Amino acid sequence: MDLTAELKIERKPKLSERVASAIREQVLKGEIPPGQKLPTESRMSEFFGVSRTVVREAIATLAADGLVEPRQGAGVFVKDHPTLAFGSISLEVGNKISHALNVIEVRMGLEIESAGLAALRRNAAQEAQIQEAFFEFDRLLERGEATGKSDFAFHRAIAASTNNPYYVEVLDALGTRAIPCDIASPWGTDSVLSREYQESLQREHLAILKAISASDPEAARAAMRAHLTASQERYRARLSGQQAEWDTAKRRV
């Protein structure tokens, strides 16, 4: 029996993630140019050897990442101005914890300053969008539904509140894969999806929100730094847990 295979915590990508990844790579490499219509669901289902439901899930992921646009009655089209400048980031994102830590490091360089700028520059409508994303996360959590997209919306609304489009562009390049607390994320394990884990995220989000609403850039930067540092520590704890489980299993052999 291969114990190391049994103890591997990182889950395999869902079929829809594999399909989305294949299409994303073609778009970001320019193999499917902006404005071009994607093949029909039936053709993609046949090509990838998956159901049409899987194809729909993949398209939904790509649409959330801003790469494609479904048009009612017309099909799905590659967006005219997809986020290509940082496309290599998207291609590098995998389902290893080392990749998750790399993503968080990029986010720290981006989002700590964006929180500070949002505290200074946001207008009333932008502040309302941050709060709406915060309360949507809470609503979904109470209903036991996936919160990843509302989590991403919270961070994206902060980036948009800088009124510097490049903050949004880089975050969009990472897309919802940057957020672990969702079933669509390659890092969305049961431990990450626990209510306790997500409640701790909300407490961290609240500190960020309060600082931005108070127009306190230093407090906003500190709260965002604390939030992302805590995320780093959560991933490192998962690595330590893997090591401990492997060691325990080996001792039983």
The domains located in the chain, with CATH, are: 3-78 (1.10.10.10), 87-252 (1.20.120.530)
Backbone dihedral angles phi then psi of residue 69, each to the nearest 5 degrees: -135, 110
Joined together, the tokens standing for residue 187 give: 């890092």
pLDDT at 17: 85
Q: What is the pLDDT along the chain (253 residues), one digit of tens a residue?
A: 343 444 344 445 688 888 988 898 888 777 888 889 999 999 999 999 999 999 999 999 888 777 899 998 899 999 875 455 455 555 554 556 667 778 888 899 999 999 999 999 999 999 999 999 999 999 999 998 888 889 999 999 999 999 998 898 888 877 666 675 544 444 444 445 678 888 999 999 999 999 999 999 999 999 999 999 998 888 777 766 555 555 555 555 5
Torsion, Cα 99 63 109 29, to 10 degrees, reads 70
Crossing angle for the helix pair 97-121 and 148-160, to the nearest 10 degrees: 40
Closest residue by Cα to residue 180 from 169, 194, 168, 165: 194
**pTM of the model as a whole:** 0.62
